[in-house]
Every structure is written in C-alpha cells, then in structure tokens.
Amino acid sequence: MSGSMDGLVAVVTGGASGIGAAVVDRLREEGARVAIFDREVPEGMADAYRVDVGDDETVRAGVAQVAADFGGIDIVVNNAGIGAQGTIEANGDAEWARVFDVNVTGMVRVARAALPWLRKSRAAAIVNTSSVAATVGLQERALYGASKGAVLALTLHMATDHLREGIRVNCVNPGTADTPWVGRLLDSADDPAAERAALNARQPHGRLVKPEEVADAIAYLASPRAGSTTGVALAVDGGMDSLRPRPA
Ligand SMILES: NC(=O)c1ccc[n+]([C@@H]2O[C@H](COP(=O)([O-])OP(=O)(O)OC[C@H]3O[C@@H](n4cnc5c(N)ncnc54)[C@H](O)[C@@H]3O)[C@@H](O)[C@H]2O)c1
C-alpha cells in the first residue's frame, strides 16, 4: 500500500493521541505529508499545530499556516472529539453545547476552512470519526451518542454537497478502542480490570478495537484508492453494530 498518498497533504485533528496518532503514522507510511492539529501538542512533535477545533480563529489560522507550509491541503481527517457520560439528566445545557461544539461544529470549522484548498486538489477527501454510539443504543452515552449521530448525518450531507466538486466525504464508526481516552475511563472505574473485561465482552469479537485498525480504515477512505467511495460509514467495531452471536 506504500506510496498511494505520495505528494498529498493531510490534516489530522486530535492527531497527538490515540486513534489520531495512529492515523498520522499510517498516512505518513503511505507517503502523505501530515499536519497534526491538537489542542495539546507535546514538545518536539513534528508538524504539530496548536489548534482548538472549538475555536474558529485558531482553526482558520492553523489551516492557513498548513497551506503556507505545505503548499495546499488534500485530506482532512476530522478526528478530535471529547466524551460525555450519563443519561440525559447527567449533563446540563452548557455541557450539551460544549460537547456538540467540539464533536460536531469542530469538524465543520476545520472542513469549512480547508474547502478552498480541497477544491484545488486532485484527490480531495474528508474522513470524520463518528462512533458505534451513532448507530446503537448504549447505556449512559446520550450526549456523546447524539453528537456522533450528528457526525454521521453531517457526513452524508457534506458528501452530497461536495460530490460534484470532487471532494469525497466518509466516516468511520469505531467500537470501543484501546486508546488513552479509554485508559482514562478504566482508571476512573471502581474496578478497572472488571470494567475492561466488560468492555471486551461488549465487542462481539471479544476484545477492544486497536487504534491501528481504525487508522487503516481511515487511511483507505482518505486515499485515492477509494475514489468511488463517498457518503459511507465504515464500521470498525468487531461486529458490535450488526452481529448478534449467541452468548459464549
Ligand atoms: N476510543 C474509543 O473507544 C472511540 C470509539 C469510537 C470513536 N472514538 C472517537 O475517536 C476520536 C479519537 O478518540 P481517542 O480515543 O483517540 O481519544 P484521545 O483522547 O486518545 O485523543 C483525542 C485527541 O483529540 C484532542 N482534542 C480533544 N479536544 C480537542 C479540541 N477541542 N481541539 C483539538 N484537539 C482536541 C486531544 O487533545 C487528544 O489528543 C474521537 O472523536 C472519539 O470520539 C473513540
């Protein structure tokens, strides 16, 4: 697969950690030049820009800087996101607004700022990170799941709007993935080992999804090899969305 993205420039939001970091590695392996957008950029991280997707000014400045530094933008991976737990009673209006602002409007901001560059690209693609929480009901994920459902719908509408401009828009729906985010959730549980076992068991294939598996799916959707694929939600969830095996 090496070299399918030679000469292309990608922006990966939330690229400093977890799934985003795995995407950065994968796209670089494919030959892309990759800019990382993250609100937390560790010292010495290559081609990393401090961008808060919740702040339109930093997004516009980051996109302009990448275009100046790399000469254009071909691929946007909208991956930055935050979690929320609880039923609808657990979070007030301010938290609902904050999570939607990062998880949904954040993707809009980055794509909107990058559109003029994507329109000039010969291989333009946007990939959004949605979640299995967009397509199945989970306990205590009302706000998070609603925000990821919005990402799924947004993907379809963007794919339609920009089809004739040659910009493909797809999303991935990961199951629970073994990232620092989930590590933090496990650390805060009363019994982290039991919580991990429960999360493993919730995946029909019996284990957490690897960030590299999600990165491979995103790299495929982002690459010119997927030139006829747009408006698709690719599940990377060990069967959690669509399979009903009998309990072991
Ligand atoms: N881990 C999972 O189980 C899982 C499952 C399905 C979907 N997802 C989605 O995958 C994406 C990445 O999750 P992860 O598990 O790798 O999380 P993570 O916490 O390991 O990484 C997320 C990164 O996004 C950055 N970020 C957060 N808010 C930001 C903002 N406002 N501006 C810029 N950067 C910001 C963080 O600093 C961090 O580097 C998220 O959209 C998440 O909803 C995760």
How would you write the chain as a 3-class SS string?
CCCCCCCCEEEEECCCCHHHHHHHHHHHHCCCEEEEEECCCCCCCCCEEECCCCCHHHHHHHHHHHHHHHCCCCEEEECCCCCCCECCCCCCHHHHHHHHHHHHHHHHHHHHHHHHHHHHCCCEEEEEECCHHHCCCCCCEHHHHHHHHHHHHHHHHHHHHCHHHCEEEEEEEECCECCHHHHHHHHCCCCHHHHHHHHHHHCCCCCCECHHHHHHHHHHHHCHHHCCCCCCEEEECCCCCCCCCCCC
Q: Is the CB of 4 under 6 A from ligand 1?
A: no
221 in contact with ligand 1, CB cutoff 6 A: no
| Cβ of 171 less than 6 Å from ligand 1 | no
Ramachandran sector of residue 124 (left: φ over 0; alpha: ψ -120 to 50; beta: rest): beta
Catalytic residue of the set 144, 199, 223, 234: 144
Q: What is the pLDDT of residues 31-54, one digit of tens each?
A: 999 999 999 999 999 999 999 999
189-246 per-position pLDDT tens digit: 999 999 999 999 999 999 999 999 999 999 999 999 999 999 999 999 999 999 999 8
Question: Which of 179, 186, 237 to probe ligand 1 with, by most ligand atoms within 8 A of CB?
Answer: 179
Ligand 1 midpoint to CA 145 (Å):
14
> Model pTM?
0.98
37 contacts 62 by C-beta, under 8 angstroms:
yes
What single-letter amino acid sits at 56? D
Atom of ligand 1 nearest to the CA of 178: 1
Domain ranges of the chain: 9-174+211-236, 177-208
Question: Right CATH number for 9-174+211-236 from 3.40.50.150, 3.50.50.60, 3.90.700.10, 3.40.50.720?
Answer: 3.40.50.720
Q: Cα 215 to the chain's mean position, in Å? A: 9
Kindly tell me if the per-residue pLDDT of 1 is higher than 50.
Answer: no
pLDDT digits (tens, 9 = 90+) for 48-75: 999 999 999 999 999 999 999 999 999 9
Ligand 1 pocket, 19 CB below 6 A? yes
Mutate to test the pocket of ligand 1, among 11, 17, 152 (most ligand atoms within 8 A of CB): 17
Catalytic residue status for 144:
yes
